Amino acid sequence: MSNPWVVLAATVAIIGASAFFVAIEFALIAAKRHRLEDAAPTSRAARAALRSSAELTVLLAGAQLGITVCTLALGAITKPAVHHWLTPVLESAGLPLWAADVAGFVLALVIATFLHLVIGEMAPKSWAIAHPERSATLLALPMRAFMWLTRPLLRGLNRAANWCLHRVGVEPADQVAAGQDPAALRHLVEHSANVGALDAAYSTQLSKALELEDLRIGDLVPERRALTAVPGDATVADVQEAGRSSGHLRILVTGAGTAWNVVHVRDTLTEPETAGIAHLARPAFRLAADTTVYSALAQLRETSNQLALITRDGEIIGVVTITDILRRLFTRSGTAAAPPAGR
Instruction: Classify residue 337: in a domain, yes or no.
Output: no
Instruction: Classify residue 233: in a domain, yes or no.
Output: yes
- 39 and 140 in a single domain? The answer is yes
Is the confidence at residue 1, as pLDDT, over 80? no
- 131 and 242 in a single domain? The answer is no
Q: How many CB atoms lie within 10 A of CB 288?
A: 13
Is the confidence at residue 258, as pLDDT, over 60? no
Band (pLDDT 50/70/90 cuts) for residue 342 is very low
- 12 and 154 in a single domain? The answer is yes
The DSSP symbol for 306 reads S
Instruction: Classify residue 343: in a domain, yes or no.
Output: no
Identify the CATH number of the domain in which residue 266 sits. Answer: 3.10.580.10
| Enclosing H/E stretch for 21 | helix 4-30
User: What is the dihedral angle through the alpha carbons of 114, 116, 122, 124, rounded to the nearest 10 degrees?
Assistant: 140
d(CA 267, CA 281): 9
Is the confidence at residue 20, as pLDDT, over 90? yes
Mean pLDDT of all residues in 125-135 = 89
Instruction: Classify residue 138: in a domain, yes or no.
Output: yes
Alpha helices in 33-180 (DSSP H): 33-39, 44-54, 56-73, 79-92, 97-114, 123-130, 132-167
Is the confidence at residue 338, as pLDDT, over 60? no
Write down the pLDDT at residue 158: 81
Q: How many domains does the chain have?
A: 3
Instruction: Classify residue 336: in a domain, yes or no.
Output: no
Is the confidence at residue 306, as pLDDT, over 60? yes
Number of helices and strands (H, E) in the chain? 13, 7
- 192 and 276 in a single domain? The answer is no
- 203 and 140 in a single domain? The answer is no
- 207 and 220 in a single domain? The answer is no
Write down the pLDDT at residue 146: 92
Is the confidence at residue 335, as pLDDT, over 50? no
Is the confidence at residue 174, as pLDDT, over 50? yes
Which of 24-28, 70-74, 205-209, 250-254 bottoms out in mean pLDDT, i.e. has the lowest? 205-209
Print the domain residue range for 220.
Answer: 216-330
Instruction: Classify residue 341: in a domain, yes or no.
Output: no
Band (pLDDT 50/70/90 cuts) for residue 341 is very low
- 119 and 96 in a single domain? The answer is yes
Question: Which of these, 266, 269, 250, lies nearest to 323 by C-alpha position?
Answer: 250
Q: CA-based angle 165:179:31, to the nearest 5?
A: 85
Instruction: Classify residue 339: in a domain, yes or no.
Output: no
Domain boundary among 138, 167, 196: 167
Mean pLDDT of all residues in 285-303 = 85
Mean pLDDT of all residues in 31-60 = 85
The alpha carbon of 248 is separated from its chain's Cα centroid by a whole number of angstroms, namely: 41
Instruction: Classify residue 113: in a domain, yes or no.
Output: yes
- 39 and 129 in a single domain? The answer is yes
- 125 and 78 in a single domain? The answer is yes
Is the confidence at residue 332, as pLDDT, over 80? no
d(CA 255, CA 221): 20
**pLDDT per residue as tens digits for the range 76-124:** 888 888 888 888 888 888 888 888 888 888 998 898 888 888 898 899 9
**pLDDT per residue as tens digits for the range 133-162:** 889 899 999 999 999 999 889 888 888 888
Is the confidence at residue 331, as pLDDT, over 70? no
Is the confidence at residue 53, as pLDDT, over 60? yes
**pLDDT per residue as tens digits for the range 204-225:** 666 666 666 667 888 878 766 6
